[in-house]
Amino acid sequence: MPRQTINPYTNEVLKTFEDATDQQIETALATADNLYRKMKPQAISDRTETLHKIAQGIRDHAQELAEIATREMGKLIAESKGEVELCAIIADYFADHAEAMLQPTTLQSQVTGEAKVYRHATGVILAVEPWNFPYYQIMRVFAPNFMVGNPMILRDAANIPWSAQAFADVVLESGAPKGALTNVFMSYDQVADMIADPRIQGVALTGSERGGSSVAEEAGKNLKKSTLELGGQDVFIVLDDANMADVNEIAWRSRLYNAGQVCTSSKRFIVMDSVYDEFLDNLKQNFAAVKPGDPMDSATTLAPMNTKKAKEKLQKQVDEAIEAGATVAYGNESYDLEGQFFMPTILTDIDADNPARHTEMFGPVAQVYKVHSEAEAIELANDSQYGLGGIVFSGDSAHGEQVATQIETGMVFVNNFMASLPELPFGGVKNSGYGRELSELGLMAFVNEQLVVTADKPDFDNMAGGLVSTD
């Protein structure tokens, strides 16, 4: 089925894109594999300048790329611009730091000779990416793997073909060699076939548990390495000594940024009883103050959701939560607007048996829980199948840090908004996936960490395991 760009603010079909033929897929694979072989003998530093040029190319096309993302998936234009700049920052970071991180390291060992770990490219990587950050998701995998020497084939979400193609075009036009990043409009079956192809050496997926387990199953069947960046039900814990002015400023933003469609959005607010009423009043006021409208207009503060289907799914989840006993503390009404807007909504009184308790609500809906002790807050935070991120607000940041370390997630920020930067590892535990993107950990995701032990001659006196007797 051809992919369509549907503007979620106007519901207009802006563009259509044909699916790739099997021949186009074969060409993409062959080109990427040839590039892998060509890059293999090159020095890593040979790619530094190209990646800086890609960063510059992205900056040169910032306005155009931002407008495409906003028109295609609805995010506020200022947020689109921020995302484009973050892509350039990520590219610059890996251009500057990857070479040093990929140097061979010498191990302290009892072995005869010198033990070193070399870090080599492994081959073509497939990246299956979601729509919520149309460019950043691509760059998280592309930049590190480009420096490693692993070409990347991109299979992006069905509703953002325009962004995917525009980004791949800018990367290529900025000087990337052909095959370094190839966008291919593939069906699920074609993705499975590609994973099975011996030229593919790994697959990175960001998306839902459903998508993640399907793709990981194919990877497992074919013995391919995979990384999964999946959903979350991140907490925002407010301890009783928290600076409430800061909390009130950050809480609504951490839920409504990108219309609430962020894996690390704060989805569960866990608030100590002493500050609960103040917190809830402020959250209501801040939710009520947002201005839905044209996401291209800088005065708009609430974007539409990315598709009609996403909005309907969220409404169903909210309806089910209410039916199971949740209270609507704010919102859950309709706006008189054509676009896919969802009124920011606050749910409270979510009991342990309410399905909302274990549901990722991927839109502007906040679940707020009252707790009576810090231990209860931590227990509730960890009562989730997910383990992605989280935020803790405490008047004592050292104490906040102690609480943070007890939360079973991959990332926690104390007394601040969550941020994603190239030097910080990004990823989760439990059903939020495995592996990390960005940072040195992300750079190594699809690297062959090859052990080479070099001796001048065998040491027969110290052969391990008794295989050689010197008696």
Provide the token pair at 444: 């190594």
231 binds ligand NAP (CB under 6 A): yes
- Cα dihedral value 375, 376, 379, 381, nearest 10: -110
Considering only 126, 263, 412, 443, the residue that binds ligand NAP (CB under 6 A) is 263
**Cβ-based nearer residue to ligand NAP, 180 or 263:** 263
Q: Is 199 in a helix, a strand, or coil?
A: coil
Q: Is 74 helix (H, G, I), strand (E, B) or coil?
A: coil
| Residue numbers 301-320 binding ligand NAP by CB under 6 A | none
Minimum CB separation from ligand NAP for residue 99, in Å? Answer: 26
Binding of ligand NAP at residue 158 (CB under 6 A)? yes
One residue of 130, 293, 295, 422 binding ligand NAP per CB under 6 A: 130
CA–CA distance, 40 with 166 (Å, rounded to integer): 28
Name the region of 141 (left: φ>0; alpha: ψ -120 to 50; beta: rest).
Answer: alpha
- The CB-of-50 to ligand NAP minimum distance in angstroms stands at 26
Q: Does 206 bind ligand NAP (CB under 6 A)?
A: yes
- CB nearer ligand NAP, residue 52 or residue 140: 140
CA pair distance 141, 83, nearest whole angstrom: 15
Size of the site for ligand NAP (CB under 6 A): 27
Q: How far apart are CA 57 and CA 88, in angstroms?
A: 8
| Angle at the Cα of 418 from the Cα atoms of 373 and 445, rounded to 5 degrees | 115
Indicate which single residue of 36, 142, 362, 393 sits in contact with ligand NAP (rule: CB under 6 A).
362
Q: Which range binds ligand NAP by CB under 6 A, 15-23, 108-116, 227-235, 347-355?
A: 227-235
Residue closer to ligand NAP (CB basis): 174 or 266: 266
Start-to-end CA span in the chain (Å): 74
Active-site residue (options: 229, 360, 374, 437):
229
74 binds ligand NAP (CB under 6 A): no
Smallest gap from Cβ 70 to ligand NAP, in A, equals 18
Structure tokens at 240: 């009783």
CB of 355 to ligand NAP, least distance (A): 16
Per DSSP, the residues of 415-430 read SS-----TTS-B--EE
Assess whether 229 carries a catalytic annotation: yes
Tokens of 201: 């050496």
- Closer residue to ligand NAP in complex, CB, 149/232: 232
Answer yes or no: 263 catalytic: yes
| Residue 295 DSSP class | T
Say how far apart CA 115 and CA 164 lie, in whole Å. Answer: 43
Distance of alpha carbon 156 from alpha carbon 161, whole angstroms: 7
Asked if 388 interacts with ligand NAP (CB under 6 A), we say yes
Residues known to be catalytic:
229, 263
* Residues near ligand NAP, by CB under 6 A: 128-132, 156-158, 188, 191, 205-208, 210-211, 214-215, 229-232, 263, 360, 362, 388, 433
